[in-house]
């Protein structure tokens, strides 16, 4: 999936319409994690340093799509980006396609940066409206996609806007380049043993990745709530744990596929459970094997932690997508922390470790190991889509490298 990148084209005197991922978490109007903004800086600096004009478009949160909403304004992102770049970032309007926004783009000088307001203030962004996409496309001489976290979606700015710019360069930014290098190229010919660690709440979210990874890997470790659908498929009592009954047949099929492909499929052998889905309420017990009625599994138990860590310690390539339990709550955080630490230790001994974004990236940050891992993705859904081999229309439309 090699794509032409922003450093391979001339940008001097040209407007580079750059789709970035500034969908950052906010609390009381303040950014609590600016990793996605920092990740876009290399591409923006490359454009500006070479005399280009960076016209940035992005979304934030899930506004209603009926117009401006203060709580979802990108102005706070413009202010943070200005600090990171040590230069002004223009933020001209409360609408990304009104006359004020267009005038600001037309008035840009070489080296300037403009961030336009939240694309999702328009329903046309999510529903993929061609006219809206073309308005965005009119802002650029070049299209650059550096929004990996949204690259599995078919939003107007991701697919129809670059299509509307046919005949103009359509390239990837440095973040996309890095993501593809680790999630696609490095994992296509991995050094072995190759281990996949999958967790999270739902089998339905991960089944495509499980099916594609089993034939490629030497071992697959499954934790999180999704493990209980697999255990239920094996006839093991899981108490009140979350089970997707409509996915039991899929789980059985994956268990059979692992046997056919000689892939070691590891499921939890013991479980940290509670009678309540809460951090500090309910009775907490650890069960070996079957889970008692009325209890739900919220983390892998100590035996499973040891087994998973031993497998990880022997790996030379590791990909991780999804936590082992409710890691945000202290009583159920140990399994995910143990896996994160084991991956960091394996990396320091020479393994390649690739972490999907979303909760896995949040866990790596929480347990202070992200700097000890090879690559932590900025996009959970996008990284999962690549692992599952799903279509990526936002990347397919870019020029081949």
Residues that are catalytic = 36, 202, 358, 381
- Nearest-angstrom CA–CA distance, 121 and 125: 8
Asked if residue 344 has a cis previous peptide bond (ω within 30° of 0), the answer is no
Please calculate the CA angle 302-308-309 and round it to the nearest 5 degrees. 90
- Nearest-angstrom CA–CA distance, 320 and 222: 10
Name the one residue in this structure whose structure tokens are 């770049």.
85
Q: What length is written for the chain?
A: 401
Buried b (16+ CB within 10 A) or exposed e, 232-271: bbeeeebbbbbbbeebbebbeebeeebeeeebebbbbebb
Rg for the chain, CA atoms, rounded: 23
End-to-end C-alpha distance for the chain, whole angstroms:
9
The backbone torsions φ and ψ at residue 273, rounded to the nearest 5 degrees and listed phi first, read -125, 165
- Nearest-angstrom CA–CA distance, 257 and 4: 37
Q: Chain-centre distance of CA 61, in angstroms?
A: 15
* Closest among 104, 100, 107, 163 to 130, alpha carbons compared: 163
């Amino acid at each position: 999936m090699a794509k032409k990148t922003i450093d391979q084209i001339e940008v001097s005197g040209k407007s580079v319409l750059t789709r970035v991922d500034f969908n950052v978490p906010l609390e009381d109007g303040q950014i609590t994690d600016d990793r996605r903004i920092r990740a876009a800086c290399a591409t923006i600096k490359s454009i500006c340093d070479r005399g280009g004009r960076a016209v940035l478009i992005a979304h934030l949160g899930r506004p209603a799509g009926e117009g401006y909403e203060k709580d979802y304004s990108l102005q706070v992102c413009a202010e943070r980006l200005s600090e990171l770049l040590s230069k002004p970032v223009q933020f001209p309007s409360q609408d990304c396609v009104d006359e004020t926004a267009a005038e600001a783009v037309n008035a840009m000088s070489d080296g300037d940066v403009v961030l336009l307001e939240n694309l999702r203030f328009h329903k046309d962004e999510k529903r993929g409206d061609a006219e809206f996409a073309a308005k965005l496309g009119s802002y650029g001489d070049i299209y650059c996609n550096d929004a990996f976290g949204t690259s599995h979606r078919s939003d107007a700015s991701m697919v129809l806007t670059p299509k509307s710019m046919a005949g103009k360069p359509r390239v990837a930014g440095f973040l996309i380049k890095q993501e593809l290098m680790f999630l696609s190229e490095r994992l296509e010919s991995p050094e072995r043993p190759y281990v996949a660690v999958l967790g999270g709440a739902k089998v339905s979210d991960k089944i495509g990745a499980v099916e594609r990874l089993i034939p490629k890997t030497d071992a697959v470790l499954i934790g999180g709530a999704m493990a209980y659908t697999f255990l239920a498929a094996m006839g093991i009592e899981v108490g009140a744990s979350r089970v997707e009954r409509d996915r039991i047949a899929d789980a059985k099929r994956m268990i059979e596929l692992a046997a056919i492909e000689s892939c070691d499929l590891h499921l939890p052998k013991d479980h940290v459970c509670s009678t309540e889905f809460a951090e500090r309420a309910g009775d907490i017990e650890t069960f070996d094997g079957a889970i008692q009625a009325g209890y739900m599994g919220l983390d892998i138990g100590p035996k499973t932690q040891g087994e998973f860590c031993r497998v990880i310690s022997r790996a030379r390539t590791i990909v991780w997508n999804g936590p082992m339990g409710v890691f945000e709550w202290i009583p159920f955080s140990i399994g995910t922390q143990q896996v994160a630490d084991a991956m960091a230790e394996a990396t320091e001994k020479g393994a390649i470790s690739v972490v999907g974004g979303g909760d896995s990236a949040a866990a790596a940050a929480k347990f202070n190991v992200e700097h000890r891992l090879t690559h932590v993705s900025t996009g959970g859904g996008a990284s999962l889509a690549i692992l599952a081999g799903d279509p990526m229309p936002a990347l397919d439309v870019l020029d081949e490298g």
